[in-house]
Chains A and B, each alone.
Chain A
């Protein structure tokens, strides 16, 4: 998407970018539901679903919330605290996996 993003403002009507993003969000959602229906191996399914939802999140933040068109230092200021979410998950995940290992 990135190489075409810049030109989206010049060709077609002004709402073209939103229609394209809307379309891809729907396609990814259908893919997600399809992946569950296809009964893929558990580890593959979880990885795929996490990657697909991160892709949807990136599309929403970049284009619907216009973050892509903001000043670079603002983009960094907004995205940097997301590290705290990773820290949070990494902090509590061992508790969950310990329980799984202890049960074996």
Chain B
């Protein structure tokens, strides 16, 4: 009997004594939900990395590549889209901070501002896609003749240019759309006082990730 008692006591000591992990039974000191969101975002980051590295290879292999500034309006459409997404990320960060402080009204207000940013971004992307399709961009290649100044004289439009554009920005746009729906659900829950501070923070992680991915898409597809 005494031996069994000692064994039990020793096991408890092992569990409770400070370990190099520091967190005892929760080595990362985060909840499972937050850990799972981070794991999902890591896998999603690898998906986007695959799309962007495929873009890089397609572009190098193609030889000629269109002059982006001649097709996309970086100063008045894509630049402002980037600006709006950064602002919506900042308002999301404030919403998370407000949720931690239990200021429900502030959470709802800043979540709605974030959603507004997301919707504005999507609207501008729809405009961008419409413009691109009217110019001749198709998923499988280019329809009609290429506008003046886009390619060096005599060069053919690489089919991978519109393909990589549609797939990469489309995949990101789908993430923004899901994010807007996710945040709408959170805003309704928060308005009824049913959103925990942590669930708002996890939604925030997703939204910031969408902004993070756009940083690289913006740089690689529009600027470089």
Known A33-B223, A78-B42: A88·B53 in contact at CB below 8 Å: yes
Identify B219's interface contact among A49, A77, A82, A99, CB under 8 A: A49
Which residues of chain A from 4 to 19 have any CB-CB distance to chain B below 8 Å in the complex? Answer: 14-15, 18-19
Interface size for A (C-beta < 8 A) is: 47
Q: Is the beta-carbon distance between A73 and B89 smaller than 8 angstroms?
A: no
Taking chain B's interface residues, is the majority helix, strand, or loop, or is none over half, making it mixed? helix
Closest CB of chain A to B130's CB: distance in Å?
A: 23
Q: Is the beta-carbon distance between A92 and B224 smaller than 8 angstroms?
A: no
Chain A CB within 8 A of B141 CB: no
Closest CB of chain A to B198's CB: distance in Å?
A: 12
Which residues of chain B from 83 to 98 have any CB-CB distance to chain A below 8 Å in the complex? Answer: 83, 86-87, 89-90, 92-94, 97
Q: Which residues of A contact B61 (CB under 8 A)?
A: 95-96, 99
Taking chain A's interface residues, is the majority helix, strand, or loop, or is none over half, making it mixed? helix
Known A73-B27, A100-B60: A61·B212 in contact at CB below 8 Å: yes
Q: Within the assembled complex, what's the spacing in Å between the Cα atoms of A11 and B75?
A: 36
Q: Is the beta-carbon distance between A73 and B90 smaller than 8 angstroms?
A: no
Q: Is the beta-carbon distance between B97 and A18 smaller than 8 angstroms?
A: yes
B69, closest chain A residue (CB): A36
Closest CB of chain A to B43's CB: distance in Å?
A: 9
Closest CB of chain B to A100's CB: distance in Å?
A: 5
Which residues of chain A from 35 to 87 have any CB-CB distance to chain B below 8 Å in the complex? Answer: 35-36, 45-46, 49-50, 52-53, 56-57, 60-61, 63-66, 70-71, 73-74, 77-78, 81-82, 84-85
Q: Is the beta-carbon distance between B60 and A19 smaller than 8 angstroms?
A: no
Interface size for B (C-beta < 8 A) is: 49
Identify A97's interface contact among B60, B63, B212, CB under 8 A: B60
Known A18-B93, A64-B93: A96·B28 in contact at CB below 8 Å: no
Which residues of chain B from 196 to 212 have any CB-CB distance to chain A below 8 Å in the complex? Answer: 201, 204-205, 208-209, 211-212
Identify B54's interface contact among A26, A82, A84, A92, CB under 8 A: A92
Q: Within the assembled complex, what's the spacing in Å between the Cα atoms of A66 and B198?
A: 13
Q: Is the beta-carbon distance between B215 and A73 smaller than 8 angstroms?
A: no
The residue among A45, A56, A57, A100 with the most chain B CB atoms within 10 A of its own CB is A56
Chain A CB within 8 A of B74 CB: yes
Q: Is the beta-carbon distance between B208 and A71 smaller than 8 angstroms?
A: no
Q: Is the beta-carbon distance between B94 and A18 smaller than 8 angstroms?
A: yes
B29, closest chain A residue (CB): A71
Give the 7 A-B residue pairs with the shortest CB-CB distance, closest first.
Answer: A96-B60, A22-B90, A74-B28, A96-B57, A99-B61, A53-B219, A18-B93
What are 19 A-B residue pairs whose CB atoms fall within 8 Å in the complex? A18-B93, A25-B90, A36-B74, A36-B223, A52-B219, A53-B219, A60-B89, A64-B92, A71-B22, A71-B23, A73-B21, A81-B42, A92-B53, A93-B53, A95-B57, A95-B61, A96-B59, A96-B60, A96-B61
**Chain B residues with a Cβ under 8 A of chain A:** 21-23, 27-30, 38, 42, 45-46, 49-50, 53-54, 56-57, 59-61, 63, 69, 74-75, 79, 82-83, 86-87, 89-90, 92-94, 97, 101, 201, 204-205, 208-209, 211-212, 215-216, 218-219, 223-224
